[in-house]
């Protein structure tokens, strides 16, 4: 059974999970975005599309 009623602690529990999700998603998005951006830049500068 899942407990979703946090009672009087709801204002402390839910923000923790919301903030954790936001920070982790930012980490994922920023990391993937950087990798994509620099790989494209290398491809653009070298004209080589067959990199690992």
Q: What sign does the CA torsion over 10, 11, 16, 21 have? A: positive
DSSP 4-44: ---GGGHHHHHHHHHHHHHHHHHHHHHHHHHHHHHHHHHHH
Q: At 47, list the tokens.
A: 């004209």
Per CB under 8 A, does 13 bind another protein? Answer: yes
Q: Considering CB under 8 A, how many residues would be counted as binding another protein? A: 34
- Contact string 21-50 vs another protein (x = CB under 8 A): --xx-xxx-xxx-xx-xxx-xx--xx----
Binding stretches for another protein (CB under 8 A): 1-4, 6-7, 9-10, 12-13, 15-17, 19-20, 23-24, 26-28, 30-32, 34-35, 37-39, 41-42, 45-46, 51-52
């Amino acid at each position: 059974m899942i407990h979703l009623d946090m009672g009087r602690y709801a204002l402390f529990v839910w923000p923790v999970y919301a903030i954790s999700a936001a920070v982790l998603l930012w980490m994922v998005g920023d990391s993937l975005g950087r990798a994509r951006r620099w790989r494209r830049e290398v491809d653009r500068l070298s004209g080589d599309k067959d990199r690992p």
